[in-house]
Structure 1
């Protein structure tokens, strides 16, 4: 099962990814985690990324795709994977398609968690309050101002990825504002149709 979860920050992608990882025994591939792992491992692509990051520059799409390409070949990703937070641009989506095609692989599903963005800030404030109440550390990106900046960046850069997959007939939208269990159930129904 190879899938992409799309949606603005706070839509529940991380929560749903955890549930899907357990259900399908597949890893969630975070480009940030993969980048750090490649740098730490000293892989050829990791060394390239380190040089770019050490110079204070953003890692290019080619390097990110190279890291994803290496990661999907690891044993735990052979049964599939979840991409969350990638691709962030149409250029990355196109490069991802080319890379997967070159490996004889294809995406099984692209799921967009649709939420009312006006309500997202309230959702984040609630999440931060619940985290504090449990005595846990609040995520830095749960600060309302930081969150608004992330949401603006998503709308500017990443929201264009959904129409790319829509035009290819690969996108399924799900109401991410429903209760978590209902959202999980809807995602599983979509994936069961693909797997049938």
Structure 2
């Protein structure tokens, strides 16, 4: 919704991985090899995919990064890339929400097997028919890493690896923190207003 409101492409690391793997790009094949072995994809592969995507024509007037950067190494690589391209970040959005709410949101997420872009939530955005996609009738499923215990493990990794980039961007003066509880459109409005305020100084 934020990308749509700002008329810029939404660049998600999950989408990048899926697209590169399905298209059989060199980076996609490399990522798939790591994933098949159950290993984390190295930063340089993720960074390479993100750079390629940010250089696409539709991103020439801006983009919204989602899930990237995920650690300090990726944040520094992003800074180097943006400096080379003469691009400055308008803002880094920090969505404040309790851990229990994060678990509820992620563990309740359901995706369509036919189109991963069709996303539902058992509480906040349930399909009309349980486990059936409203858009195409495909089966809805829960990702294997969206179970409550796996989400809590992911949160531990977040605190260790991702949380430090909040201070990193705060020191650069680009961090924008907003409360992320409430309806999606309310949080989107809050985010747009905060980013506009940051952009206009």
Do they fold alike, i.e. is TM over 0.5?
yes
Instruction: Report the CA distance between 1:71 and its aligned residue.
Output: 0.6
The residue that corresponds to 1:160 in the other structure is 164
Structure 2 portions without partners, runs of 5+: 109-120, 132-139
Once the two structures are TM-superposed, the CA of residue 155 in structure 1 deviates from its matched residue by 1.9
- Judging by fraction of residues, say which structure has more helix: 1
Report which structure shows greater RCO (CA 8 Å, sep ≥6): 1
TM-score (norm 1): 0.76
* Number of equivalent positions: 178
Matched residues in 1 for 2:181 and 2:15: separation? 27
- 1:172 maps to 2:176: yes
Q: Contact 1:29/1:83 (CA < 8 Å) preserved in 2?
A: yes
CA RMSD in angstroms comes to 2.6
Partner of 2:186, secondary structure, is helix
Q: Residues 60-99 of structure 1 correspond to what in structure 2 (within 5 A)? A: 60-99=42-81
Paired residue for 1:32? Answer: 14
Task: Find runs of 4+ consecutive structure 1 residues off by over 6 angstroms.
Answer: none
C-alpha separation in 1, matches of 2:85 and 2:2: 24
* 1:135 match: 130
Which runs of 5 or more structure 1 residues have no equivalent in the other structure? 1-18
SS at match of 1:88: coil
Give the Cα–Cα distance (whole angstroms) in 1 for the partners of residues 50 and 102 of structure 2: 29
**Maintained 8 Å contact 2:176/2:198:** no
TM-score by length of 2: 0.74
